Structure 1
Amino acid sequence: MKPLTITTLFFLLSFNLYCQNKKADSLSIMTIITDVFDGMRTSDTSLMIRHFHEDAIMQSIGSNKDGTNKLSPTSLPEGWFNAVAQPKAQIWDERTWNYQLQFDDKLATVWMDYAFYIDKSLSHCGVNSFTLAKIDNVWKIIYIIDTRNRDNCKPPEYIQNQ
Structure 2
Amino acid sequence: MKKILILFFLFYSCEMGDRTTMNSVRLKSDATTDSIEHVIKEMLIAISTNDIEKARYHVLEEGRVFRVRKDGMSFRSNAEFFEQTADQSTNYYERMWDPIIMYRGDLAVAWTTYDFHLNGEFSHCGAESFTLTRFNKRWMVMDWAYTANETENCNSPLGKVSKEEMKN
Instruction: Report the TM-score, using the length of structure 2 for normalisation.
Output: 0.71
Q: Is the 1:124–1:153 contact (alpha carbons within 8 Å) kept by the matching residues of 2? A: no
CA change 1:98–1:47 in 2 (3 A) is: same
Match of 1:9 in 2: none
Structure 2 gaps, min length 5: 1-28, 163-168
Structure 1 gaps, min length 5: 1-21, 65-69
Q: Hey, what's the Cα distance between the residues in 2 that align with 1:140 and 1:25?
A: 13
Match of 2:39 in 1: 32
User: Is the partner of 2:47 in helix, strand or coil?
Assistant: helix
User: Is the partner of 1:158 in helix, strand or coil?
Assistant: coil
* Shift in Å, 1:150: 3.9
Match of 1:145 in 2: 145
Q: Hey, what's the Cα distance between the residues in 1 that align with 2:49 and 2:37?
A: 18
- Percent identity reads 22
* Shift in Å, 1:60: 1.1
Q: Hey, what's the Cα distance between the residues in 1 that align with 2:97 and 2:112?
A: 6
Equivalent position amino acid for 2:57 in 1: R
Equivalent position amino acid for 2:86 in 1: A
- Structure with a larger share of its residues in helix: 1
Q: Deviations over 1:116-156 (max 9, x none)?
A: 11243111111110000123432121110111114324232
Q: Hey, what's the Cα distance between the residues in 2 that align with 1:159 and 1:47?
A: 26
User: Is the partner of 2:128 in helix, strand or coil?
Assistant: strand
Q: Is the 2:62–2:79 contact (alpha carbons within 8 Å) kept by the matching residues of 1? A: no
Q: Is the 1:115–1:155 contact (alpha carbons within 8 Å) kept by the matching residues of 2? A: no
Instruction: Report the TM-score, using the length of structure 1 for normalisation.
Output: 0.74
* Shift in Å, 1:35: 0.9
Q: Is the 2:43–2:59 contact (alpha carbons within 8 Å) kept by the matching residues of 1? A: no
* Shift in Å, 1:55: 2.1
CA change 1:120–1:53 in 2 (3 A) is: closer
| RMSD (Å), alpha carbons | 1.9
Q: Give runs of ≥4 in structure 1 deviating > 3 Å.
A: none
CA change 1:133–1:120 in 2 (3 A) is: same
